[in-house]
Amino acid sequence: MNPRRRVALTRLAAVAAVPAWPRFARAAGGFGPAFVPPRDGAWPVADPARVGVDAAKLDAALRFAAAHEFAGARDLRTQIERDTAREPYPEILGPVWSRGPTNGVVVRHGAIVGTWGDPTQVDLSFSVAKSYLSLLLGVAIDRGLVGAVDDPVGATVRDGGFDDPHNATVTWRMLVTMTSEWQGTLWDKPDAADRRRGTFRTLQTPGSFWEYNDVRANRLALALTRRFGRALGDVLDTEVAAVIGGTRHWYGYFNARAT
């Protein structure tokens, strides 16, 4: 493995994963719950009433959504600095740039019935990275790189991160469900940097306590990188994005390396 590949992503290490935006196309025939847009990008657009949606209420909802944008700064660096100002390790270690105006799509029975803003706009996403990691764990299990979700991570990832008695009991399931209580420092960020229930609290038994923690999500990213033997962005490209007709751009911490 190239030791200089970037491997992590979370709130402070930005990720943008953008599904390929379909060309709007009206399609004849009915729409059912099993509808899946074709891979050529065509996606039907339906009259709201045709799929059981009150057009007036939908229009009101779309106008409401457009008028009630998140109040935070569009300059994401400024917003993150505000959000982390009182945290013990506030350094931003990943690339960030400004976001665009709010936008969205309403889909009913596989057909687009309404949009607001510009859905083709490409923006950064952050904690959705945790869902990507869950998908990649599933791929790792399917490929036989991980035996089962309840296997101890340290059974196959031997990089020192799961050697001490506390971390040795951490399983893959615990990492993806935010119950690992993993302790340690990764890429200059200790797990205490993101202990939402109290920076200096006593750690609980792994598997017994839930806490949203980006450092531990990054520890999962590194563990998966060890098992795949290549950058997770490449794995996401070939095993997920390419399969569903999507595109992605993966950005890690500036100092995130598999060493």
Nearest-angstrom CA–CA distance, 160 and 153: 11
Give the lowest-confidence range in 15-24, 30-39, 87-96, 134-143: 15-24
Cα separation, 155 vs 38, in Å, equals: 41
In which band, very low, low, confident or very high, does the pLDDT at 6 lie, cut at 50, 70 and 90? Answer: very low
Task: Tell me which of 7-16, 65-74, 195-204 is least confident.
Answer: 7-16
Q: Is the pLDDT of residue 19 over 70?
A: no
The answer, yes or no, to whether residue 34 has pLDDT greater than 90, is: no
Cβ–Cβ contacts within 10 Å for residue 26, how many? 11
100-129 pLDDT per residue, tens: 999 999 999 888 999 999 988 888 888 888
Smallest CA-to-CA distance from 94 within 108, 80, 83, 110 is with 80
pLDDT value at position 39? 65
In this prediction, residue 63 carries a pLDDT of 97
Tokens of 242: 């390419």
Q: Between 45 and 39, name the one with better pLDDT.
A: 45
Q: What pLDDT digit, counting tens, does each position of 160-185 carry?
A: 999 999 999 999 999 999 999 999 99
Q: For the purposes of burial, counting CB atoms within 10 Å of the CB of 109, is it exposed (0-12), middle (13-18) or buried (19 or more)?
A: middle
Q: How many residues belong to the chain?
A: 259
- Judged by DSSP in three states, 164 sits in coil
Report the 10 Å Cβ neighbour count for 39: 11
